[in-house]
Amino acid sequence: MGLSEFALIDRFFRDCGARRTDVSLGIGDDAAVLEPPPGKQIVAAIDTLVEGVHFPLHSPPASVGHRALAVNLSDLAAMGAEPAWALLALTLREVNESWLAEFSRGLDTLAREHHVALVGGDTTSGPLTVSIQVLGFVEPSRALKRSGANAGDLVFVTGSPGDSAGGLAVELGSLHAATQPARTYLRERFLFPTARVALGRRLLDFASACIDVSDGLLGDAGKLAHASRCRVELEYSKLPISAALLDAYGEQRARELSLSGGEDFELCFTVPPSRIVDMERALPAERWGYSRVGVIKQGTDAVVVDNGTVMDFSHSGYDHFSTVR
């Protein structure tokens, strides 16, 4: 890319995102200069989307811009942090003005929604790859970790995991069974996932542990179990399945997808029994969009139980039921 092309790209990002008074120096110098609020900790996450890996070739560019930021906002949400600033590393095969305009619009819309300023970046030539790094704040020692769950805590998840996997199938043209409204809904969930930032902030007062669901609910619950040195038991019958996913896949496959489908960017969190009543009063489940899906026990790993029986899971889906315990 020549210098003029970099200048062109710069045009699309210089005014991207929210205006913030804590940005002392934004895009256009060697680095950004930022004013952290006194008495807060900084929370930092970085995530990358690669064309053909995290999104199909020829994805809507606004979706690529949205998702590249959303995956990072979701990481901050899982820590209970308030996002503030983002940096973008964009690698492009070619300078396509309409692609850049749409990409930056998708990024800009979500950034403004969360009052995030794009403060720096880097554009390079190469296979389409988008890395965004988001910085935010959290009150000292209050960040939600994966490691805080204890036996007896209840397990919750936001939204209806699996929808993103269904939406990806729509995008890839491999989902034909579903009705048009179901296809439209699922596709939207894949293209424009919701980062649960406001809920993450509120969960600081209630949750004992939290993780962003990006690699599938069961796998991510397993990471929480590992970090907390406990066992997560998810209840098969309590998995929140959207009507659209049910319509598209039928019950068994929809439940499998809710456990194994990736890229949902929902939050899986645990709450001690003593905090449940207060949480449900302060954050009504139907308004905040979360469901109870399980319980923390002593032990290891994350498992799915149905009528007291542990279900056997492999990456190819549920092979069979077991009676291990």
Q: Give first-to-last CA distance, the chain, whole Å.
A: 60
Which stretch, 74-82, 104-112, 255-263, 279-287, contacts a second copy (CB under 8 A)? Answer: 74-82
Spatial separation of the C-alpha atoms in residues 146 and 222, rounded to whole Å = 10
Between 36 and 181, whose beta carbon lies closer to a second copy? 36
Per-residue contact string for residues 133-162; x = within reach of a second copy by CB under 8 A: x-x--x-xx-x-xxx---------------
Residues in the interface with a second copy (CB under 8 A) total 63
Instruction: Name which of residues 281 to 310 contact a second copy (CB under 8 A).
Output: none
Which stretch, 122-130, 158-166, 171-179, 180-188, contacts a second copy (CB under 8 A)? Answer: 122-130
Spatial separation of the C-alpha atoms in residues 302 and 322, rounded to whole Å = 15
Binding flag, residue 241, a second copy (CB under 8 A): no
CA distances from 170 to 183, 249, 258, 266, 316 (A): 6, 12, 16, 20, 20
φ/ψ of 314, rounded to 5, equals: -130, 170
Rounded to the nearest 10 degrees, what angle do helices 243-260 and 163-171 cross at? 110
| Smallest distance, a second copy to C-beta of residue 4, A | 11
| Smallest distance, a second copy to C-beta of residue 44, A | 5
Between 224 and 248, whose beta carbon lies closer to a second copy? 224
Spatial separation of the C-alpha atoms in residues 74 and 76, rounded to whole Å = 5
Spatial separation of the C-alpha atoms in residues 282 and 280, rounded to whole Å = 6
Spatial separation of the C-alpha atoms in residues 134 and 119, rounded to whole Å = 10
Binding flag, residue 3, a second copy (CB under 8 A): yes
Instruction: Name which of residues 180 to 219 contact a second copy (CB under 8 A).
Output: 210-212, 215, 219
Footprint on this chain of a second copy (rule: CB under 8 A): 3, 24-25, 28-36, 38, 41-54, 74-76, 78-79, 81, 85, 87-89, 91, 119-122, 124-127, 129, 131, 133, 135, 138, 140-141, 143, 145-147, 210-212, 215, 219, 227
